A = this chain, B = another copy of it.
């Protein structure tokens, strides 16, 4: 079935996602938990309501901690490669920002500049490092993170703090555990083996429960964290885990930074958005006649999936689109045109905000950032 490690994700259908729940030993986000969450947030984020974030560990305990005044904090990140950031990369950040707004808690965002190089996915780590703020951080900040409650850091720059904390963590992780969790083999770089420790460090930034919004492929790191946290007298990481957003080439394909037509990048122009969406894999019929007769299939339509996951917040409107598409009254061209406008409105706004972001606040000068340059475990 699906092969899932943080470096190789192959999902072929929804049943794979259900099986991952069993294999990883995580829990589905059920209606009861959604209701509980809603008690604090009033409304549910569409990403949760529509089951893009569909599994979790200890989200119930996070809410209990909040309820009882112990609080919690958020931690997420992205391993940058040479390529640009795309729409799919935003998913965990969108949810993280929402949690920050609803609970008013601190957020930590890691930019590991070495991971993809050690995983042999990029060849120039210095170039990766140089581009992080411009290609990644400013767009993430533009989502609306609180500059005084959000700390962004690049591993090689913040390493003095990370490394000191990694010392006791690494002592509790042996080669056999690392191999079992990540599937390392003989040709794995010893750097990648150590990186697993660094990704765990921020779960100990505060003496509270960390909640980690992430793709489900990141679960292995935090499974390992949960094994060792008790040995260090620390909180086990809580997670809220998402499915992947499909690439433009079809259901369950990936958006890839190295395949421009598979994804929409955060700096794409209106023309690029339009061209890519018009080419996207659709669930429509080959001809207008057939479409009117048999209707389209929103279940395999990438553009409909994107509206559902990210761009149509109005659930009533989404249902109307789905129904009329299925019935054939809404054509593929019409659906795509609708999506193009929605996506572009979002992108244009993000691009404008990204230009105005004071990125140094998040890395160095904001209230939390300043504290974190003094932090040690």
Contact = CB atoms under 8 A, between A and B. Distances in A.
Do most interface residues of chain A lie in helix, strand or loop, or is the interface mixed? Answer: helix
Nearest to A191: B170
A5 to B, nearest CB: 15
Interface residues of A, number: 34
Interface stretch (A160-168, A272-280, A290-298): A160-168
A220 to B, nearest CB: 14
Nearest to A166: B191
A160 B174 CA distance: 24
Contact of A190 (B117, B125, B159, B196): B196
Interface in A139-197: 156-157, 159-160, 163-164, 166-168, 170-176, 178, 184-191, 193-194, 196-197
Given A114-B167, A164-B156, A167-B117, A194 B187 contact: no
Contact of A193 (B156, B168, B193): B193
A107 to B, nearest CB: 24
Contacts of A160: 156-157, 159-160
A95 to B, nearest CB: 30
A118 interface: yes
A120 interface: yes
Interface in A71-115: 114
B156 A174 contact: no
B163 A159 contact: yes
Copy tally for this chain in the complex stands at 2
A190 B197 contact: yes
A43 B357 CA distance: 66
A221 to B, nearest CB: 13
B189 A190 contact: no
A228 to B, nearest CB: 11
Contacts of A178: 190
A117 B194 CA distance: 16
Interface string A111-146: 000100110100001000000000000000000000
Interface string A24-50: 000000000000000000000000000
Given A159-B163, A191-B194, A197-B191, A176 B170 contact: no
Contact of A194 (B156, B176, B185, B193): B193
Contacts of A117: 167, 171
A201 to B, nearest CB: 12
A170 B190 contact: yes
Contact of A171 (B118, B166, B184): B118
A274 to B, nearest CB: 40
A163 B162 CA distance: 11
A170 B197 CA distance: 15
B170 A194 contact: yes
A227 to B, nearest CB: 13
22 contacts: A118-B167, A156-B160, A156-B163, A156-B164, A156-B167, A159-B159, A170-B190, A170-B194, A171-B189, A173-B189, A173-B191, A174-B186, A174-B189, A175-B175, A175-B185, A175-B186, A176-B186, A178-B190, A190-B194, A190-B197, A191-B194, A194-B194
